[in-house]
Each structure stands twice: as structure tokens, then as C-alpha cells.
Chain A
Amino acid sequence: MYTHLHVASGYSARYGASLPGALVERAAELGLDTLALTDRDTVAGAVRFANACAASGIRPVFGADLAVEPLHPRPGQTRRNPARGGAFVDESAARVTVLARGRTGWASLCALITAAWAARAEAGGGQPIVPWNALREHPDGLTVLLGPASEPAHALAAGRPDLATALLAPWRDLYGPHLRLEAVHHRRTGTGPGSLRLAARTVGLARDLDLLPVITNAVRYARPGQGPVADVLDSARLLMPIQPGRTCNGERYLKSGQEMADLAEEVARAAGQERGGAAHLLAATARTAADCRLDPAADLGIGSVHFPEEHVIGAAPGTSARVLRQRCEASMTRHGYDRSATMRARLDDELRVINTLGWPTYFLTVAQVVDDVKEMGIRVQARGSGAGSLVVHLLGVSFANPLDHELIMERFLNLRRRSLPDIDIDVESARRLDVYRRIMDRYGPTRVCTLSMPETYRVRHAIRDAGLALGLPPDEVGNLAKAFPHITARSARTALAELPELRHVAAAAGRYEKLWDLVEGLDALPRGTAMHPCGVILSNDTLLQRTPVVPTPGEGFPATQFDKEDVEIDGLGLLKLDVLGVRMQSSMAYAVREIQRTTGRRIDLDDRTQVPLDDPKAFELLREGESLGVFQLESPGQRDLLGRLQPETFADLVAEISLFRPGPVQADMIKPFLLGRHGRRPVTYPHPDLEPWLCSTYGVIIFNEQVAGVFSAMTRTDLAMGEEARRALAKPERLPALQAWYRQRAAQAGFHPDVVDRVWKMLENMGAYGFARSHGVAFALPTLQSAWLKAHYPAAFYAGLLEHDPGMYPKRLVLADARRRGIPVLPVDVQHSDAHYRTETTADGRLAVRVALADVHGITDDQAQRIAAGRPYTDLADFWTRAHPSQPIAERLARIGALDTLAPGAHRRELLLQIDELHRTRRAAAIPDQLVLTHPGPPAAGSTGLPAMTAGEQLQAELEVIGMDATRHLMEPFHPLLAELGVAPAHRLAEHRTGETVLVAGAKVAIQTPPMRSGRRTIFVSLDDGSQGRHGQVDLTFFDDTHAQAAYPLFHHFLLLARGQVSRRGKSVTVIGTHAWNLQDIADAHTTGGTAAVRDLITRTTPDQTTGPAPHEPDDDNNDGRRTAGASRLWHASPGSAG
């Protein structure tokens, strides 16, 4: 039986064209019983490969294809720096294939990969090349195949068997009987890699030297015909178009045993070993495969867990369970819980489960991490199902007593669930990396690493890379890629056929027929790796023997090559802790510091006496719908819900956060909940037994905990079983069995068949969705804290929001909200602005927010600090000399009026002129930074005759430089035009009757296309038109029949005019849109040709008013942009959930 020993999967980024699953599937089809996976410089695909093999009954062999340091460096030629197009990607390093035999082999393999990537980081880029001293240090358990890409083969190809023999010597010394020569026959001509002659020479040399030759196919894809995809990957890796004559010739697929036997025969004959040569070749290959035995469970550690050793967390060996109990009991006493029998019983229960599962160390580890973070003065909070556990609460990881909030432990961990529970902790986003460093320091680099995250091909990147490969013009490819929304590559053709805004692309799509095949072929292949944003792996000190680590690009943290799913679902023996950076936590911490700086008051947000969970002012604010900037509640939908729900207690907040999720929205639970809450409908339960579970939510199921509870109540089982049933509910394939079990148990329990039916309907409706109450509770705390800050210290709160930008809305909306709520916004001024947002007392005694220097486009931290440190300045020349800004920054500051106070009387353009002159003087100075004694004096006001900036130009400058309209609303210049066209201002929209057709306009602040129950695409857009009052925003809904005309402008333009019908739901007024246009185009038409031109434009771009198709220009992403600079930070876009 033949075994492929050299197989690259898609995890060889931009090299392999098939994912491990596809390779295994193909191998099974071919009847192969063993398959190796040898990705380039990585083992990232190993877990998926092992699982796929286990499912198909194939024995896996693990290895990697590694670049190695040359023994015989070829004379390098120094290349000139290219004038254009960049240098070639260097792939000259020799490569060998390394296979692991058993656990030691795997450890050596991990060490080699780690060494290669470390060497790459040291060299500052290039290929990860294994240094020879690493090879010498870790030779155990490895089998090495020297193939066509290895150094000896290079020598053979060049006709130098003598040199090849010499180059083989060190390999023989190191690997002895486990060294193989690898013959590859790809039917290429010449003597290069893949040629018959090189394969024959390799086999010949093996015989001369008494080495074992093996034959492989150096596989890059599963099936014949995938060659073109491999070409695209080559081109993406080498960054140049496919060169005719240098393509992959389609031979590198997974060949059957017979095909390989035929190749072996050809090679043997060419090597002059007609009789028996092929048999030897195949037998040596089979023997090599048989040697490489690695049990995924035992040797890779899949399925078992390695916690940090007890001594690392400060417990004597064997005492962790006792230490955990002591800590919990001490905490019980501290909280005063020890007198409650229920709580004591709950604690005993939980500790028993934890002990039985053997996880006390885990809890102590998490507790220690949280303690460390707190000690650093960083805000930290647990999120997720962990909040349901009393132990987690007692360890100080989560704030809420689970018994107060009806949280169950079983959602988090139970005896029936063997997978590791996960506790996620939220920390301040700005200090996330500090936390990582602290964890690193505490547990040491042998126990801690971060996670990788493969970046896979989606449609835009696939189009770019396939376009490059085909040599299409870069701008054409760029426009093509940009036209697509962020969807999978696989669905490119479907999108072309279905999405109206892609019509113009679809019209020309025929020209690129070949491109779409390649794009679909690239679907879901990894194209690179990034650092996972929050995962931290904690282990005992065998970590580096079980996983290779790669330094992350920016920060240089070691990251395992495995990704989240590898670690989470399959264990791999790695314990993962999610440390998420939450911007809101940073914002709140900033606000608290700002309050202390200005007033000296120290506020502890986690102190319930200072920030009570039922603070009336905070709840009043929320009931008014003033939730912009408040954690989790600021989306238009949530604001609408706030108005209808009228929250009064912390529990209401939990419900509010949990209700606006896909599950409850789909199951239409909001309405009955609200009716029950406002007492407009009597609360009923299918059966009185369910009352304890459903009473807090007026008989409606919202939370996962309730599903588990209802299951356990109906089937008379424990909560753990209920929780397992809930998990099964989310999996369609398990549904029938679940239903049968449920019906049988419920009938046995004596429930009436009607009740059984009704309850099943309720549960089934919940389906996969639903929200854990523990999540809701964990979210509700920062929600309340941020609302509290907004209600009591608005200026500091806004400063925090603007500094860390946590919300979904662009900063300009936060500014508008601040202004509307009576917090003045002060523009950037070098005499007053700090590097960060600051609160400032104005002349009339109000607290105001001062825009930070850091928001000036392109300013470096250094410059901002220097400018802030040098305040105050006497004049422009003084500013220039001491703050030493770069010329573009000084210019931007002048254009937004930040330098106005330096030269009273001179306008911005005059300052600009002076800056240019100062800049010229500085450049002309013989010694850089030499003190200039005579500065040109400030120009007399008005003496230059330069035209002053108009109000419109000033606004434009603000948008370009700081990305927001700090002094006046950006829609203001359009107001006369809107009035002339009869556009309804947002604050007067309520005066229109329902169903009336209106025109609305504004700047796009948010656009969302959430998945809808009907499966149809609906676009939600919010426009901000700058009208007064609290209703400066219009919310529009576009259903899919309008997308043909409206989708393109909605997605691609910033300023919009829309037509639609007024619609009402409760108090809120929205517009059901029918048409949309780019307001900028209309304004331009109006300036050049008056209203006649506007009419003309509307007729042309509205197909149902003429016969012609709408002339969309595909490349006008830049048309709304005169605001190109930073336009993307002006609005929020998400395919996101309804929340």
C-alpha cells in the first residue's frame, strides 16, 4: 500500500490548495490507509487533519516541510534596489521534509519550527529558516526526507554527485538510519526539481551511498485539475502574475497507489534499476511510513488537559483543592454569606463538581490572573457563563452573586459536560497587552503563549490575488474587489447574480470568466496568520513540547500555531483563557481618572455605595432613550426598546440587553414580554411547575438558563441534564432524538399532552439562539456604570468616550450628543489642547470637553506630547521652535484654526504662509535645528491679501484633519438646498402622518444589514441631518425590492437623500425607504445647473421613472470624497446582529 509522505495542505499559507479535510476525503476515496501532512513551516493543520483522519479511518503521519540553513551557501549577488514594483520574494532557501516518529519526534518538530520562526523574527523577516544548531540540538525521533528542494538535490541537478555526497554527510551523521532521499517525478523536462532525470539521479545516488530512497508526489492539492488554484497561490505568495512556462503543471495532486507505482517504475528504469528497483522504492516508502507512528491522543495530547503546576500558583503539590476551598470559605465570611444555608450548600455542590472533574488548579489560576490584573490597577470583569458559578464569584472574578440573579452553575460546568468551561475576562482595551505581559512574567514563556488566528480568503482578497495572478490591471482589480461586500469567496457568483448594487460589475463579469473560477477555488484557504485578539494559553512547562510557537508580528508574543477551534474543541491539552480588551472599560477608567484630575474626587465604580445598581438618575437617563455611548444600549434598535421597556431595576437592564438578540427577535418574544411587563396581559404559564423559572420574565423564555430549567422541570431530571438538552436543541441533527426523549419523560412525569406540546413549541422556537442570563448580568454592570457616569459626570464621560472610541457610532456623533446635552465642545487649540481629551471649565463655569491633539490626522504621539508640554506659546515662531511640529502637522493645525490664538488678527491662510516660510528657513539652515535668531515677524492682519477660508472650507478642513465637525454640523451648508427641495428635517418628521411620502437627507451614521427571519436582505440606515432637538436622526429601512435603485448609493456614499413613507411603531417614527441618491451629486448638480440639473439627475438615476438603466459609475468610491481623508471613520457599518 502506497503512502504519500509529502503533502501540503491549505495551512501552508498561499501554497497548498486543499484543506486537510479535502485531502483526507480524497485519500479515503483512493483507498489509501495512511496519509502524511507536511505543511510548509507549520503544523497548524495537524488537529483538523488528525480529526479528519480519525473520522475516515486513515492513519495520520505528522511532519512539516522546513526551510534549512544552507551548508554550502551559494554566492549571493547583490541586487540593485528596484526603481519600481519591488523586489522578488526570496524563496531560495533549501527545504527538507521532516516526519515525527512518536512523542519525542513531535517535540523535536515543534522545537525546530519554533527555532525557525524565532530566527526569522531575529532576521527581521524573510523565510523562517531552521538554523543548523537547532537541527543538531533536536534530532531525536525525526525522519528526514531530502527531496528535490534540498541542497544535495541542487548539486545533483547541477550534475555534481560529488558535491551532493559531501553535502549529505552532516545529514547522515545526524539522522543515521532515518535519513531518506526523496525522488519526485512530476514529468517535467530538464534536470530541475520534478524532472525524471533528477528523480533517477536521486535514486542512483541513494544506491551508491546505501541510503534508502522514497518516492513521493510532493502533493499540493487533492484532485487533478486544481493546478490553476496552486498557480494563483504561487502568484499571491511571490507577489507577481503567473508567468507562462513557470506554472504548476497539474501533476501535484494526490495520486492513487497505481499511479505512484507506475511513476516508481519509470524512475527506477531511468536510474538503470529495471529489475526490482521500483519494488524497492515502494517498499522503502512503505517502511518509512510505518516507522512514523504518532498517536494523536497520546502523543499530541488531544483530549487531555495540562494545567499550570500547583507550585506556580502558590499551592503545595496536591493541595490545590484544599486551597480553593479555603479561599472560597474565607470569601464567604467576608461577604457575609456564611450564614445562609443555601449558599453553603451551593458552594459545597460546586466544589464537589470541580474536584471530581479535577479542575481546582484551573480556578486558582484564573483567580490569580484576575488578582494580578487588579493589582496593576486595571479594570477587570468576568464575562460569560462563568458568572453563574458561586466559586467564580467568591474568587473575586465575577461581581454578581449568582443566587441574587437566578444564575445556575450547570450552564458553566457540570459532570455531564467534559469540555473545559471557559471564563472570559474583560480588561481595559488600552492595557490589554500589559495584562498579557504580566501573565507571561508570572507563568514564564515555557507555560504561556497566545493564539494564532488564520486569516482565510474571502471574496475581496480572493479577487485581488486571482486578479494579480492573471495579470489584470491593478486599478481594475481594485475596483472589482471593492465593489463586493465582505462575503465568502465561494458566494462570489451568487452575489453577482443577486445583489443589485453589483449590477454594473455583473454586466462586465463575462470578461473575467476565468477569474471567478479561481476566486471560488481560493475559498476559505488560509492566506496568513494573525494574533488572536484575546486568547491566552496557560499550561504546564511541557507547552513547547506540544506546540510550536511563532512570535506575533507587532508585539513579539509567542503564539501557538494552532487556532481557537483546535484548542477549544479538541483540547490539544491547552487551557485557554480569553482576556478581552474592552474599550468601554478603558473609557470608564479614563473618565474616572479625569474626574479625579479635575475635582480630586476618587470614584470607585465597583463600590455599590457610590454606584448603586438602582441609581435613579442613571435609569431616568436610560428611560429617556439617552443611551448614546452607554455600553450595549446605543444601537437604534436598543434605544427604541429602551423607550418601550422603561427599565427601572438592574434586572430590567439584564432583560433589555438579552431581549434584543437574534433569538428573542426571531421568536417574537419582545412583544409578549412588554405586554406582561406593563400589565396589559395576564401572565400565564403552561404549567404551574414552570412558574419559578418563568415568573421573572412574565412567562416568556429569554434565557438559556430558563431553557435548561424548563427541560429539567418537565422531564424531572437535574439541571445538568437540562443543560445538556439545551445544547442538543441547538443541533438540528440531535433534535429528533431530543424530542422523543423529552416527550417520553414528560409523559412519564404526568404532564398533560397539551402542556407537553405547548412547552415543546416554546423550546423549539428558542432553537439555537437565546442568551445566557449570566452574559446578560455580566454585560449589565458596565451598562449601568457607563449610564451612571453619563448621568452624573457627563463631561468626563464624553472625554472617556472620545479618547477610547468604544461605541458603534463615529466620534462626530458623540460630539453632537455632548453638545446637545449641554456639554460644550471646544475645538483643537494648541494653547489649550492636550494630547488627550480633557475636560475644561469654560468662562461661564460649565464643564466642557476639549478635542485632543491626538485626533489630528497623522500626528505622532511624540509630537502631540511635545506640543502639549510646551504650552503656552507666545507666537507662531515660538510654537514652531519649541513644539517643533512637522510641516504637514503644523499646516493641518493651522487649517482647523488650532493656531488662531497664536496670532490674533491673522487668518488661517496667513498662518499657513508663515508656517511655509518657517519651514523653508528651517530647511535652509546650515545646521538642522540651529537656533534661528531672527524669525520673520508675524504678518500684519489682512496685509497679505490672501482670501480667508470660507465657512464651508473650514468645515471641510475639520472633517479632513480630525474626522469630525467640531465647530458646526457638517450638514449645515446643505440646509438651504434641502429647504429648497422640500426635504423634511428630522425633528419635524413626527408631524407627518403615517404613510405619507417624504424626502429625508443626512450624513450616514450607521448602516446595517442584519440577518432577517425571512432570509431577505434588509438595509437599516441612520441619517443625521443636523437639525435641532434630540431627534437629529432619521432611521430608514430599505426592503429588498428597493435595493435595485437604492443599495448602491446607500453602501457607497456618505451624504444621502432618500425618499420613503413615514412609518410608526410606538412613539418612534421611521421611514420605509424607496429610493436613495448621493446628496453630494445633487448638490453639485444644483451648483452647476440649478434645479433643472437636479431634475435631470433624479430622472437619470431613478430607473422606474425612465426606461434606461441607472448609470452607476463603478469607480466612484472617491466621489463622496472630497472627504477621502478618513471618510471611513465617519460612519459605522456592520453586517452585524440586530443588537
Chain B
Amino acid sequence: MTTDRAILHLRLHHPPLALYTETFTVLADITPLVQALPPDSAALDITGALTYFHRTPEEIADTLATRLLLRYGLTCAIGGGPTRLHAQLAADTLLPGQIRILHPHHDDTDRFLRTRPTQALPGIGPKLARTLARYGITTTGDLADLPLPTLQRIAGTTTARLLHDRAHGTDPRRVAPTGPPASITVTRRYPADVLDPDTTRQGLLALATDLGTRLRTVDQTTRHLELTITYADRSTTTRSRTLHEPTHHTPTLRDTLYAIHTRLGLQRARIRALTARAGHLTPATHAYTQLTLDPTTEDQRRLEPVLDKANNRWGTGTLRPAALATPGPNDKAPAHGVPIR
């Protein structure tokens, strides 16, 4: 019976990306069944660990929290329960540093589940939650009490079936062990609004250069590039592209980012930050490369290792595209730029 498992849902408090990846060594000490839920969480199936360590779920959660704090200085919130749903719902209610375990077949557990807002359930986004609220359904309990046929009229057959199960605390999802996420993210923030397209492109070039260097350093290639633009009102736009072939070459990354940016056609948007993320990483040795007969491309690719070596030796940014060269203290900036009429 799947419901009689013991699942922990662990949420780290603001983990830096590098540390997040590392924490999985600590988690793996407890159980091999660990599923990464980036950017800051993980699900653990500790059913086996309970008997192995002769501990209660509370004690195991406690051990984990202590170890993570001692080793990495990270606080975390840990929710636990008989299903991944319970564990996650419990974790969602916690502040960093708290632990809450829900026990199966317990009145408190049922009460807890019934009082959750519908939006806490996985699979219910803001839109569906709004739709449900219009029908007066705001808590999981309301959802559980609704006859399935009615729910199906509201949400469609498949979704309704799923929601109906979740609302009753049924969640057959297992913890599928996966390693830490494979992606590299670089960000460029601006202290003031940027509207000038040249400045934006300069930023994108910097991102591509940075991303390329980091990929080549760890010997990985990417097939998926994602560009997120953050605006003055803190809203964002995200667009992504899948590349024709896995790559870690800066010019390709750069051109892709340029292409994504051009598609957006931004004019008066007040840009505050640019974030590029390379996903679908694969080791460079596994990558295939389309041969080109274009000498420029070939030259650039041949040059890249040289740049990397120089940068490794004398510090990042020693060799970089001319467009990224910032004027030194002795260079004079033009006194008055272009006027507005």
C-alpha cells in the first residue's frame, strides 16, 4: 500500500546554487530515494530508513536539519507524511527551521488536509483556484465534499479525477531518485533602468561569454537556453530556445540570446536584470558537432581554449570582447551625449 510510506519534503532556506547541489551528499547518507525539486527543495522516501536506523520520522528530520545546519549553515523546513502530498503540504506551512510530521490515519492529519486552501494542492494554479473560488470552493475540504461529476463539469474529466484524489489525501506519486539539477545560470543586474538597446546587447554578450566559459570549465554542453528579463516593476519575461546541437561555444550562445531578445522587440521596457540559464547539460564528450566549412567559426572555436587559459591564469576578464571593455579611470567619457530634441 503506497500510502503507508514515510516521505519527507525538505525545503532549504535561500540555498546558493552550489550549496544546493552539495546538500544531496548529506541527504544520500539517510536514504538513496532522494528526488531533487529545484531550486531549493527535495523529497525523500525514508520508509526504509526508519527500520534501518530505528528512528521515528521526527528524529530523522531532526538529524537532517542539524546536519545541514552544521555542515553548510543552511536552515531548512521539513514536512513529513504518508504521501508526497502530505509531506509537501506540511512543509508549505512551515517557517525555516521548523519540522512538522503528519501521521497516517490520524484526526489531526485529516483536519489539517481539509483546511488547506485549494491552491496549496499541487496541480491547482492561480487560475483554477480562482475558478473554484467562484463556485465557493476554497479549501481542500470543500473540494473533497464536492461530488466528482460536478467537479468534472468544472475542471474537466482528468483534472477533476486527480483533484478529487488529492483532496482525499490520495497521492500515488513515488519519490523518483534524481541527482541535483543540471543547469548553469548567470545574471547581470543594473542599478538603474536600462532602455538603451546597445546596453542590453552588451549585457547579453557578457552573459554569453560568462556562460560559455563556465560550461567549458566543467566540460559540459547545453541544448537549451533560457533568457529571463526582469523589469523595474519586478515582473519578468522568460523565453527559451532549444539549440540545434549541444554546444559550449560563446558565439552560438551569444547569437541565440540576441535572437531571443530581438524577438521580444522591447522599446520602452525598463530592464533591471538579465538572466541566462543553460539547461539540458550533457558532458562535452557526449556531444556531437556539425562540421562547418566557415573559417570564422572554426577560428573562433580554436581561439576559445586560448582565451579560457589566459583567463584562468590571469583572472577572469583578462581577454574579452572589445564591446565589453569598460573605460578605465584615465579614459574620458564624452561630456554630453546625444541630446533629446
Contacts and interface: CB of A to CB of B under 8 A. Distances in A.
Interface of A: 79-89, 91, 95, 148-149, 186-190, 192-194, 234, 238-241, 243-249, 471, 473-475, 891, 909, 912-913, 916-917, 944-949, 953
Is chain B's binding surface mostly helix, strand, loop or mixed?
loop
Interface string B239-278: 0000000000000000000000011111111100000000
Contacts of B150: 913, 944-946
A238 B136 contact: no
B233 A949 contact: no
A84 B339 contact: no
B266 A241 contact: no
Contacts of B334: 189, 245
A383 B149 CA distance: 67
Contacts of A246: 337-340
Contact of B268 (A85, A248, A913, A948): A85
Contacts of B195: 240-241, 243
11 contacts: A83-B265, A95-B341, A186-B339, A188-B336, A193-B339, A240-B193, A243-B195, A473-B234, A475-B233, A946-B150, A948-B136
B335 A189 contact: yes
Among all A-B residue pairs, the 8 with the closest Cβ atoms: A85-B269, A80-B265, A245-B337, A471-B193, A83-B264, A945-B147, A947-B136, A944-B150
A589 to B, nearest CB: 40
B134 interface: yes
Contacts of A87: 267-268
A944 B147 contact: yes
Contact of A473 (B233, B263, B269): B233
B232 interface: yes
Nearest to B136: A947
Contacts of A187: 336
B142 interface: yes
B135 interface: yes
Contacts of B112: none
A84 B237 contact: yes
Given A187-B336, A192-B338, A245-B338, A474 B232 contact: yes
Nearest to A949: B136
Nearest to B265: A80
Interface of B: 134-137, 142, 145-147, 150, 153-154, 192-193, 195-196, 229, 231-235, 237, 262-270, 334-341
Given A82-B264, A85-B269, A241 B340 contact: no
Contacts of A916: 154
Contact of B266 (A84, A91, A473): A84
B193 A239 contact: no
A95 B337 CA distance: 21
B340 A238 contact: yes
Given A243-B196, A946-B146, A193 B341 contact: yes
A149 B341 contact: yes
B153 A84 contact: no
A471 B154 contact: no
Contact of A913 (B135, B192, B231): B135
Nearest to A907: B136
Given A245-B336, A473-B234, A913-B135, 14 more contacts: A84-B229, A85-B270, A87-B267, A189-B336, A193-B341, A246-B338, A248-B340, A909-B135, A912-B135, A944-B147, A945-B146, A946-B150, A947-B142, A953-B136
A193 B336 CA distance: 12
B69 to A, nearest CB: 33
Among B146, B193, B267, B335, residue most surrounded by chain A Cβ atoms (within 10 Å)? B267
A241 B192 contact: yes
Contacts of B193: 240-241, 471
A920 to B, nearest CB: 10
B48 to A, nearest CB: 41
B268 A473 contact: no
Q: Is the interface of A mostly helix, strand, loop or mixed?
A: loop
A82 B265 contact: yes
Central interface residue in B195, B237, B335, by most chain A CB within 10 Å: B195
A697 B315 CA distance: 94
Contact of A85 (B135, B153, B267, B339): B267
Contacts of A913: 135, 150, 153-154
Nearest to A950: B136
A387 B150 CA distance: 69
A998 B263 CA distance: 65
Contact of B339 (A86, A188, A244): A188
Contact of A234 (B134, B145, B229, B340): B340
Contact of A239 (B136, B146, B268): B268
A949 B138 CA distance: 13
Nearest to B264: A83
A82 B146 contact: no
Contact of A249 (B229, B231, B339): B339
Contacts of A148: 341
B262 to A, nearest CB: 8
B264 A84 contact: yes
B136 A81 contact: no
Contacts of A79: 265, 267
A240 B340 CA distance: 13
A246 B231 CA distance: 21
A89 B233 CA distance: 20
A190 B175 CA distance: 66
A240 B270 contact: yes
Contacts of B340: 234, 238, 246-248
Contacts of B192: 241, 244, 471
B137 A947 contact: yes
A945 B150 CA distance: 7
Nearest to A944: B150
Nearest to B271: A85
B335 to A, nearest CB: 6
B100 to A, nearest CB: 20
Nearest to A249: B336
A238 B340 CA distance: 10
Contacts of A88: 267-268
Contacts of A194: 339
Nearest to A91: B341
Nearest to B196: A243
Contacts of B338: 190, 192, 245-246
Given A193-B341, A946-B136, A946-B150, A84 B269 contact: yes
Contacts of B145: 945
A890 to B, nearest CB: 12
A444 B76 CA distance: 78
Contacts of B231: 84-85
A193 B340 CA distance: 9
B153 to A, nearest CB: 6
Contact of A82 (B232, B266, B339): B266
Contacts of A248: 339-340
B40 to A, nearest CB: 25
A81 B235 CA distance: 19
Nearest to B266: A82
Given A81-B265, A471-B192, A909 B136 contact: yes
Among A80, A85, A86, A241, the most chain B Cβ lie within 10 Å of the Cβ of: A85
A572 to B, nearest CB: 31
Contacts of B339: 186, 188, 192-194, 246, 248-249
A115 B332 CA distance: 47
Contact of B269 (A82, A91, A909, A946): A82
A86 B267 CA distance: 6
Contacts of A81: 265
A912 B131 CA distance: 10
Nearest to B232: A473
A38 to B, nearest CB: 14
A193 B145 CA distance: 73
A948 to B, nearest CB: 8
Given A234-B340, A241-B195, A243-B196, A471 B270 contact: yes
Contacts of B341: 91, 95, 148-149, 193
A239 B147 CA distance: 53
